[in-house]
Structure 1
């Protein structure tokens, strides 16, 4: 009987561990979804509070890296709020900026303290014609598609965004679509803080934008082979050309404490 009890205890412990892992996965997924809902409505203060207070916290966006909680605030409350909603926290009439968070794949470490997640966003954005003379963007409507490869951390028992790495894969005007996207449609960030008061702390290596179609590296291995995708297969040469003619494969950054 005692051996059966011990075996049952092991089963219960394993089930408890699995329930905790699944619960953590769902909490991280919900965290990213909530990020999207706040971002849709320009609730930048709420977005910033989703981020960890860790010194290695960062946001990577359009070729720039905003470091620490101060950098996160500079991007959302500084750059975005100023550009889109005249510095307020919340939406302005007639301005659309939807960021659906979809295809979420979340993996939590064995300690239940860190997680990684891959998500896709398909953004529709623009202004209503009734505000074309009062909004700084004028009359505009555009599409955007991007990939997130993020890291999350549990601080004081609460899951937070640790390192958000967003790769805006493509942009397009609503009228002409992605086939006619002009080069440098959204210029990469090229001036750092404090020279640019709302700029990133540092610039990222090898930024990408449509029609560049390099693969954003996966944080996970192939579920059947257990292998990572080869670097050459992450590259995007012109049709019929060797991978070596392409820009280098993208590399996901690591926290400085782990470099």
Structure 2
């Protein structure tokens, strides 16, 4: 009898652990989805408060890294708000939808950190009625990007730890992605404080369409257990060797883990 009770206790413990893991995954997906809904409406203060206060917190975007909570606020509340709305919240006639889709989340065994891969397909632009009053004028564009993010659990609450967004392609609404001009969105090239809204540091190997290198996966293949070969993450020209491709992209790690 006592052995059966012990087996039942072990089973309950295993089930509790599994329920916690599944619950954590769902909370992280909800966190990322809420990020997208706030970002849609340019609620940049609310976005910034989704991030951890950990010193290794960061956002990587367009070839730059914004470090710490101060860097996060400088990007959203400074750079984005000034460029798009001039306030915290939307302005009449400006569209900036960021659906967060295809979320794959993996939590570490301790239940303290997690990684997630998401996709965004953005529609953005201005209505013709505000073309003379909005700083962007009359514009409309598409954008597709991949997130490879890290999350951290602090005081029982999941927060964004390191958001790494790779805007994979841009396209004008009129002509689509086949006619995207090179350097359609210029990479960041000046750091803070020289640029008051700039990143703390610049990153190697930024990418934009028509560069189609693979954003590395935080997970291994679910059947073989083998990661994708580094050479297969590159994108040479059709029928040519790897020398025609830029180096494979890599995912950065927190400074405390390097």
Q: The residue matched to 2:59 in structure 1 has which SS?
A: strand
- State TM-score, norm by structure 1: 0.99
Q: The residue matched to 2:196 in structure 1 has which SS?
A: coil
**Offset of residue 156 of structure 1:** 1.0
Cross-structure match for 1:203: 202
Q: Distance in 2 between matches of 1:168 and 1:161?
A: 18
Q: The residue matched to 1:82 in structure 2 has which SS?
A: helix
Cross-structure match for 2:25: 25
- 1:12-161 equivalences in 2 (<5 Å): 12-86=12-86, 88-161=87-160
Q: The residue matched to 2:24 in structure 1 has which SS?
A: helix
**Offset of residue 176 of structure 1:** 0.4
Cross-structure match for 2:235: 236
Q: Distance in 2 between matches of 1:54 and 1:203?
A: 20
- State TM-score, norm by structure 2: 0.99
Q: Deviations over 1:179-213 (max 9, x none)?
A: 00001100000000000000000001100000000
Q: Distance in 2 between matches of 1:98 and 1:257?
A: 34
Q: The residue matched to 1:26 in structure 2 has which SS?
A: helix
Instruction: Provide the aligned C-alpha RMSD in A.
Output: 0.4
Q: Distance in 1 between matches of 2:46 and 2:243?
A: 44
Q: Deviations over 1:149-204 (max 9, x none)?
A: 00000011110000000000000000000000001100000000000000000001
**Offset of residue 245 of structure 1:** 2.6
Q: Distance in 2 between matches of 1:203 and 1:156?
A: 32
- 1:213-224 equivalences in 2 (<5 Å): 213-224=212-223
Q: Distance in 2 between matches of 1:80 and 1:140?
A: 16
Q: Distance in 1 between matches of 2:190 and 2:25?
A: 37
**Offset of residue 58 of structure 1:** 0.2
Q: The residue matched to 1:195 in structure 2 has which SS?
A: coil
Q: Deviations over 1:27-54 (max 9, x none)?
A: 0010000000000000000000000000
Q: Distance in 1 between matches of 2:88 and 2:69?
A: 17
- Give the paired residue count: 258
Q: Which aligned segments of 4 or more residues in structure 1 are displaced greater than 4 angstroms?
A: none
